[in-house]
Amino acid sequence: MMHKEFIYHPRDFRKIELWKNVKDEEWYNPQWQLKNSIRSVDQLKHVIKLNDYQEQEIRRVVDELERQGKDPLRITPYYASLMDEDPFHPDIPLEEKGNKRLDPIFWQSVPTPANLLFPNTGREASMNEGSRSYGAAYQRYPNRVALFVAQNTSCASYCVHCQRAKSLDATCDVNIELINKGLFYINFNKNIDEVLVTGGDALRVSKKRLQYVLEELSKMEHIRAIRIATRVPVVLPMAVTDEILTLIKESANRYTKGPEKYVYFMTHVNHYKEITADFAAAIKRINSYGFTVRNQTVFLNHVNDYFVTLAKTFRRMFWVGVHPYYLLQCHKEKGIVHFISPIQVGQIYMKHMQGWLSGIVRPNYAVNIEGGGGKVLLMPLNYDNLNIDLKIEDKISESKAKVYTWDDKEIFDYEALGRATPDEYNKALRIMDKFIGRKGVFVPKIILIDNNGNYIETTNRTKLPTFEKQKKAVLLGYETNQSGMPITNPAKISKKLDELYQKSTFSKK
Ligand code: SF4
């Protein structure tokens, strides 16, 4: 059964070359973690195994991204200890992707040559609506606003798949004047009842700034809920301290009149390897202050694009007190399109979780439409009285779709995947096969086009995942009976249960 031991055990840092002399007090000190974050390939090669070619290639990519003005590499020692020593042959069960397995923490945190491939992302620019900000406040919906309080590069660890690659109208240094303008707007627009305090990462801003923002929000009567958006519990759980939680609890309601504002956390777990004892302890601390924790998982090729991986991730986070809220389609950004999996595949995984996992454990699957369109829900699709003979699996069309945004905007030909010519695609495979050291592992889903931009085919889409009932039972780790299914109706075996009950201690109570 998969849930007997579900907490992931990271590597012992004392056995990692770079930190073999580090004391416990240092390791659990968030300042030490931040000061000793991996910022160079020279440090990285003492943490994971890289051959000379891989080392040289990562160096090349980091240099190139830096040349483009990006800050591509920052990994806290804690998060780095979640990577297998050999990230190209990770110790995760063979049934999860067979030989195609790659370490999900490595792929989320170390730039690889894939980040320089597929520069043509497709058509999203046509949906660009320009800025939606006033000061540091960014708005998409009538009643919610994101308030950027941190500098955009202030996250504790950097995620390779991050949409920091694109400007979310907040690539600027968020100074106090911008924050004050944002606060002014939130105070001005009385429709706004929820504010997402975000960054970068809301827990990576100075305590003084966080206190100021929360206190100002506490003065606004129309604000009912405050969301703290942070990946700190995942990448730096030791920074979730009583001091910061007390500050949030006190500041968010310091000047509140009437009912208290509802404060909750939103974090970002993508793989069950991130659910460690330290993560669970951080969630427990957050919960103990009365804050709930929800999660947004990004659906990422080579990280979690598999039914079992997603199911394990959602169930395990729930067991430690985190509510799966969204499974988000990865953004179509230059440099990260190899992380995208087709929407239809995500839909099939989600469909097959229905009934097999509790509804509270299954998040909403959604895509964030580029250019300020907001989230479009991609599930459920079970109720379709126009195509009654077709299942989702049969509706796999090309990579275009007509989507309707929350405000009834119709977007035709929405494409979730990036585009490349066959030459670009084949060259990319050659580069990545050489980098990974074996063929068939790097399987990007890309729309192939000719030189005039005409559609040819979509790669790696021919084999769609299928899950018959019995296979699902095994994949989810359920005990099964002779029919290959778990018990779902105890009345059918009541005679056997009666006998066992009589012999059990329960009948003696
Ligand atoms: S924590 Fe969030 S904002 Fe920061 S790098 Fe990761 S995905 Fe991007």
* pLDDT for res 130: 54
Residues 248-271 have pLDDT tens digits of: 999 999 999 999 999 999 999 999
Q: What is the mean pLDDT of the chain?
A: 89
Q: How far apart are CA 363 and CA 377, in angstroms?
A: 11
Mean pLDDT of all residues in 138-163: 86
Distance 297 CA to ligand 1 centre (A): 12
What's the gap in Å between 35 CA and the centre of ligand 1? 19
Residue 334 scores a pLDDT above 70: yes
Give the residue, by CA position, lying nearest to ligand 1 atom 6: 159
- pLDDT, tens digit (0-9, with 9 covering 90-100), for 50-68: 999 999 999 999 999 999 8
pLDDT digits (tens, 9 = 90+) for 265-289: 999 999 999 999 999 999 999 999 9
pLDDT at position 169: 41
Ligand 1 pocket mutation pick from 231, 232, 234 by most atoms within 8 angstroms of CB: 231
Residue 447 bridge partners (DSSP) = 419, 458
Per-residue model confidence (pLDDT) at position 455: 85
Rounded Cα distance between 135 and 183, Å, is 8
Pocket perturbation via mutation, ligand 1, pick of 75, 105, 149, 159 by most ligand atoms within 8 A of CB:
159
Which atom of ligand 1 is the closest one to the Cα of 158? 5
Q: How far is the CA of 153 from the centre of ligand 1 (A)?
A: 9
pLDDT of residue 340: 92
CA of 148 relative to ligand 1 center, distance in Å: 13
Rounded CA-CA distance 1/476 in Å is 8
Residue 461 has pLDDT above 90, yes or no: no
User: Longest Cα pair distance anywhere in the chain, in angstroms?
Assistant: 78
d(CA 261, ligand 1 centre) in Å: 26
Rounded distance between C-alpha atoms, residue 150 and residue 164, angstroms: 13
> Residue with structure tokens 């993560």?
279
**pLDDT for 351-367, tens place per residue?**
889 899 999 999 999 99
Q: Can you say how many angstroms the Cα of residue 14 is from the centroid of all Cα atoms in its chain? A: 29
Q: Residue 171: its pLDDT value, please? A: 47
- Residue of 151, 201, 274, 368 with the most ligand 1 atoms within 8 Å of its CB, for mutation: 201
Q: How far apart are the first and last CA of the chain?
A: 29
| pLDDT (mean) for 184-192 | 98
Give 3-state DSSP helix, strand, coil % of the chain, rounded to 5: 40, 15, 45
| CA-closest candidate to residue 287, choices 235, 239, 242, 224 | 242
- CA atoms of 308 and 310, how far apart (whole Å): 5
Strands (E), 113-173: 133-134, 137-139, 144-148
Task: Write the DSSP string, 396-448.
Answer: ---SEEEEE-TT--EEEEEE-SEEE-HHHHHHHHHHHHHHHTSTTS----EEE
Residue 302: burial class (beta carbons within 10 Å; 0-12, 13-18, 19+)? buried
164 Cα nearest atom in ligand 1: 8
Cα 159 to averaged position of ligand 1 atoms, centre (Å): 5
Q: What distance in Å separates the CA atoms of residue 138 and residue 430, rounded to the nearest whole number? A: 41
Mean per-residue pLDDT, 419-426: 94
pLDDT tens digits, one per residue of 3-18: 568 999 999 999 999 9
pLDDT tens string 370-390: 766 788 888 877 666 666 676
Q: Return the pLDDT at 482.
A: 85
- The pLDDT tens digits for 202-246 are 999 999 999 999 999 999 999 999 999 999 999 999 999 999 999
Give pLDDT, residue 123.
60
Q: Phi and psi for 68 in degrees, rounded to 5?
A: -80, 5
pLDDT digits (tens, 9 = 90+) for 286-314: 999 999 999 999 999 999 999 999 999 99
pLDDT-derived band at 126 (thresholds 50, 70, 90) equals very low
Distance 482 CA to ligand 1 centre (A): 47
DSSP annotation of 492: G
Residue nearest to atom 3 of ligand 1 (CA): 200
* Cβ < 6 A, ligand 1 pocket: 155, 158-159, 162, 164, 200-201, 231, 268
At 462 the pLDDT is 57
Residues linked to residue 418 through DSSP beta bridges, in sequence order: 446
- Say how many Å lie between the CA of residue 164 and the centre of ligand 1: 7
Q: Of 458, 470, 432, which Cα lies nearest the Cα of 345?
A: 458
Which residues pair with residue 375 across a beta bridge? Answer: 368
Give, using CA atoms, the residue closest to atom 1 of ligand 1: 231
User: Across residues 40-48, what is the average pLDDT?
Assistant: 97
In the reported structure, the alpha carbon of residue 154 is separated from the centroid of ligand 1 by a whole-number distance in angstroms of 9
Average of pLDDT values for 13-25? 96
Using pLDDT thresholds of 50, 70 and 90, give the confidence band for residue 70.
Answer: confident
Encode pLDDT of 477-498 as tens digits. 899 988 889 999 999 999 999 9
* Ligand 1: centre distance to CA 229 (Å): 10
- Report how far ligand 1's centroid is from the alpha carbon of 161 (Å): 8
Atom of ligand 1 nearest to the CA of 199: 3
Taking residue 222's Cβ as centre, other Cβ atoms within 10 Å add up to 12
Task: State what percent of residues in the chain have pLDDT above 70.
Answer: 90
Index of the ligand 1 atom closest to the CA of residue 230: 1
Residue 168, pLDDT > 50, answer no
Tell me what the mean pLDDT of segment 113-123 comes to.
Answer: 82
- Which atom of ligand 1 approaches the CA of 161 most closely? 7
pLDDT at 167 > cutoff 50: no
Among all chains, which residue has been given the structure tokens 């249960």?
497
Output the CATH code of domain 1-509.
3.20.20.70
Residue 163 Cα: closest atom of ligand 1: 8
Burial class of residue 187, CB neighbours in 10 A (0-12, 13-18, 19+) = middle
Atom of ligand 1 at shortest range from CA of 235? 1
CA distance 432 to 11: 27
Interval between CA 488 and ligand 1 midpoint (Å): 41
The winner for highest mean pLDDT among 46-50, 399-403, 462-466 is: 46-50
For residue 80, pLDDT over 50 is answered with yes
Query: Pocket of ligand 1, candidates 79, 138, 164, 203: which has the most ligand atoms within 8 Å of its Cβ, to mutate?
Result: 164
Quickly list H helices, 192-342. 207-218, 232-235, 242-252, 277-288, 307-319
